[in-house]
Amino acid sequence: MSPQPVDTLKGFGVTFKQIFKKPITQQYPEYKRPVYPRFRGRHRLWRHENGLEKCVGCSLCAAACPADCIRVVAAENTPDNRVSPGERYARIYEINLSRCIFCGYCELACPFDAITLGNEYELAEYDRDDQIYTKDMLLAEPIKRVPVADAELYDTPIPYYRSHS
């Protein structure tokens, strides 16, 4: 078979020894590998400190999206219903996460730092309709937090709009 049968037998020894070494697989639900601080996960809509939403419904994010998965319908801010600090707010804001490619263009396009990509990646659902996230789902904090690596370990700077992630 091979011109050096002794080397083949040594190969058998190598595979046999590997049985007794500890496998290097990381078992997922028990151990979750920490993601980097700028990891592009599920989208999050942000508010100002005074409770007004940052999003004004300009739909620049929808225009920038390569997968065309953001739906923005704007409405006017009335004096008794003021949602955002501008003239209008996003009445309907939906992202179809089954179409999103998590590129981050919406985050780059937003002039108000209203939408960023957070760190949550556990987004599995049983039904495709559950993958359409509405505005209140996006405004909310993630239900379960994934481990995030320490930002001090990486010397790439965190931009201002992600400093509150």
Partner 1 sequence: MSELWWISAIKGFVIINIVLLTFAYTTLLERKALARMQLRYGPNRAGPYGLLQPIADLVKLIRKESFFPTAAIDIPYILAPVVSAFTALAAFAVIPYGKGWQIWHYHVNGVVANVPISLILIFALGSIGIYGFIVGGWASESKFSLLGSMRTCAQLVSYEVSLALSVLGVVITAGSLSLVHIVHNQAHSVWYVGPQAVGFLIFLISGVAETSRAPFDLPEAEQELVAGYHTEYSGMRWGLFQMAEYVNMITLSGLAITLFLGGWHFPFAHGVDFLGPLWFFLKLLVLLFVFIWLRATLPRLRYDQLMSFGWKILLPVATVNAFVTALVVVWVN
Nearer to partner 1, 29 or 51 (CB): 29
19 lies in the binding site for partner 1 (CB under 8 A):
yes
Nearer to partner 1, 10 or 99 (CB): 10
| Interatomic CA distance for residues 44 and 136, integer angstroms | 10
Q: Minimum Å distance from CB 24 to partner 1? A: 5
Nearer to partner 1, 27 or 81 (CB): 27
- Cβ count near 67 (within 10 Å): 14
Q: Minimum Å distance from CB 18 to partner 1? A: 5
31 lies in the binding site for partner 1 (CB under 8 A):
no
Residue 71 · residue 63 · CB < 8 Å:
no
Q: Minimum Å distance from CB 20 to partner 1? A: 9
| Interatomic CA distance for residues 72 and 94, integer angstroms | 7
| Interatomic CA distance for residues 78 and 25, integer angstroms | 56
Residue of 7, 12, 111, 127 that binds partner 1 (CB under 8 A): 12
| The 88-96 sheet, strands edge to edge | 70-76, 88-96, 132-133
The DSSP output letter for 81 is B
Q: Which stretch binds partner 1 (CB under 8 A): 19-27, 55-63, 72-80, 88-96?
A: 19-27
153 lies in the binding site for partner 1 (CB under 8 A):
no
3-state secondary structure of 20: coil
Torsion sign (Cα): 123, 128, 129, 134: positive
16 lies in the binding site for partner 1 (CB under 8 A):
yes
Total residues at interface with partner 1 (CB under 8 A):
14
Which positions touch partner 1 (CB under 8 A)? 1, 8, 11-12, 14-16, 18-19, 21, 23-25, 27
